[in-house]
Amino acid sequence: MFDRAAETMARDELEALQLHRLKQTIARAYAQVPPFRRKLGAAGVRPEDLKTLADVARFPFTVKADLRDNFPFGLFAVPRESLLRLHASSGTTGKPTVVGYTGADLDLWSDLMARSLACMGAKPGDILHNAYGYGLFTGGLGFHYGAERLGLTTVPVSGGATERQVMLMQDFGAHILGATPSYALNIAEVAAGMGVDLRALPLRYGCFGAEPWSDPMRRELEEKFAIKAMDIYGLSEIIGPGVASECHQAQHGLHLWEDHFLCEVIDPDTTTPLPLGEAGELVLTTLTKEALPMLRYRTRDITRLIEEPCVCGRTHRRMLRVTGRSDDMLIIRGVNLYPSQVEAFLVGFPGLAPHYQLVLTRDGPMDAITIEVELATGAPRDAPFAAKIAADVRRHIKAMVGVSCDVVLKAPGEVPRSQGKAVRVKDLRQANKP
């Protein structure tokens, strides 16, 4: 473990630390951030109303729109001059979401990423092939500094130029791969095309995050690279990658670093806090961040927390794999559908490759969904075979989610490949509105 004392802290000790840090965070944000002060005023609460951890439920949520409304620096609790770094995530509409870090924040982030990498199985001296995008996106630099903090030999390759990535992994003998799961799949496919056997490389672990993925996708990646595929979680509004990570011992649920983040799960519709163990929207509060403290940030990620002891000895609660972001949830003819549900079914389906896109259109007043998925290389290409596969997929999706869909089989290579975050949904419903 990177920080044994912190990672194995007893529950009561951990909660006492959380309460202490939460009081400090709220008092500081109240003093330094005018929009924060106004928000508490509107909710009728004051910092001194927080006496126990449960009292946090009386405090208002923060949502992504708060960051946009105070663009770019309005929620910062320190003068802009004391920031050492800015990151931003691209918004689909309008301005990006801007986050900032003091020196202490960058230090904390490196520590938490080092902790996460060690938790996922990395050891000092390993070589990390870091294929997360470098730049405004937090993935590349987050992994980079955490890996250096842990003592890994870090290869800052970023995304793209996939043939060169395969060559470098081979030449340097990478032990750990950091990438989005969809890009890792792209790397595997390019390697196969080059005749390179990834399974023969010294790779031991893949650290995959930044987009929702499924257990069948995990098995697919483990098979193709002969690695353990690990899940890591984070979001730039909270700190970036390194909020939670799976341990390689259990590979079941991601330890959420509770000495620095307070976690709650709420009903996304009513915003009522849910009892431990029930599935709902993850809400996070930062406990130690200086530049951008976040109070009850609604992540939109749907998960479930478990507290049972873990074989690795860590005491921090685990969050189960995020199956979808409520923003990604599609509503097709009134039925909720997450792209990851479709993925879980398509990946590993005989005759299909794990490359797919969901295309939404409107047929008169009705939503229509088409699944475009590739035939596996080497699968029969005759019409009866294709018709049978398409019918099987249609029947299973209908049985699973209750929605009828069209299935279009594509030739190998026809579905666009991920260079970072995969585009799983093409929503054309506005475009062809009558």
1 binds Zn ion (CB under 5 A): no
> By CB under 5 A, what part of segment 282-311 binds Zn ion?
310
**Shortest separation between residue 263's beta carbon and Zn ion, angstroms:** 16
> By CB under 5 A, what part of segment 106-145 binds Zn ion?
none
Q: Which is nearer to Zn ion, 314 or 317 (CB)?
A: 314
**Shortest separation between residue 118's beta carbon and Zn ion, angstroms:** 12
**Shortest separation between residue 247's beta carbon and Zn ion, angstroms:** 3
CA distance 82 to 101: 9
Q: Which is nearer to Zn ion, 116 or 138 (CB)?
A: 116
**Shortest separation between residue 416's beta carbon and Zn ion, angstroms:** 36
Q: Which is nearer to Zn ion, 310 or 337 (CB)?
A: 310
Q: Which is nearer to Zn ion, 218 or 314 (CB)?
A: 314
CA distance 33 to 27: 10
Cα dist from 386 to 12, 346, 350, 395, 410, whole Å = 58, 15, 12, 14, 10
* Burial class for 3, CB neighbours closer than 10 Å (0-12, 13-18, 19+): middle
Q: Which is nearer to Zn ion, 249 or 432 (CB)?
A: 249
**Shortest separation between residue 272's beta carbon and Zn ion, angstroms:** 29
Q: How many chain residues are in contact with Zn ion, going by CB under 5 A?
A: 5
CA distance 424 to 404: 18
Q: Which is nearer to Zn ion, 247 or 282 (CB)?
A: 247
Q: Residue 135: which of 213, 243, 236 has the closest Cα? A: 236
Binding mask 62-91 for Zn ion (x = CB under 5 A): ------------------------------
The encoded tokens of residue 238 equal 């909270």
**Shortest separation between residue 128's beta carbon and Zn ion, angstroms:** 21
CA distance 418 to 211: 11
Exposure string for 8-33, b = 16+ CB within 10 A, e = fewer: ebeeeebeebbbebbeebbebbbebb
The encoded tokens of residue 110 equal 């490196």
* Burial class for 367, CB neighbours closer than 10 Å (0-12, 13-18, 19+): middle
Binding mask 306-325 for Zn ion (x = CB under 5 A): ----x-x-x-----------
**Shortest separation between residue 251's beta carbon and Zn ion, angstroms:** 9
Tokens 């032990």, residue located: 175
Strands 318-319 and 305-306: antiparallel
**Shortest separation between residue 255's beta carbon and Zn ion, angstroms:** 6
CA distance 62 to 161: 38
Q: Which is nearer to Zn ion, 304 or 314 (CB)?
A: 314
Q: Which is nearer to Zn ion, 16 or 250 (CB)?
A: 250
Binding mask 240-279 for Zn ion (x = CB under 5 A): -------x--x-----------------------------
Contact residues toward Zn ion (CB under 5 A) are 247, 250, 310, 312, 314
